[in-house]
Amino acid sequence: MNKIYDLFASIKLTVVLLLILAATSIFGTVIPQDWQPFQYQQHFGDFGYRVIQFFSLTDMYHSWWFQLLMSILVVNLLICTLKRLPKTMKVVKISNPSVSRERIQKMRIRDAIES
């Protein structure tokens, strides 16, 4: 179970999924969506049509495998976010937002506004 969690918490998985989604989206852009079957056969031939039909490229963005990739990406992003959120909140949280004059004067880079 820990290996699965580590896999989904990985930013490498996010990058891989985004690259796969980008590459497969090229097919969805190049291959016309929602044509009639005879149009695919005329344009791509019988073998091309069978390949397109097998991979559901006629309506790729609603195909099971594209939806699965998107779902995995959502789970991956959620787990990545939840894993890194506590550390991020510690960095972002400012315990003492007010800064004293002495602290400012000790800073290397500072400036003064004359009133």
- At 38 the pLDDT is 93
Q: What percent of the chain has pLDDT over 70?
A: 95
- Write the pLDDT tens digit of every residue in 70-100: 999 999 999 999 999 988 888 777 666 677 7
- Write the pLDDT tens digit of every residue in 29-41: 999 988 999 999 9
Q: Give the count of beta carbons closer than 10 Å to the beta carbon of residue 83.
A: 14
Long-range Cβ contacts of 31-40 (<8 Å, 24+ apart): 31/57, 31/58, 31/60, 33/58, 33/59, 33/60, 33/61, 34/58, 34/59
pTM of the entire structure? 0.71
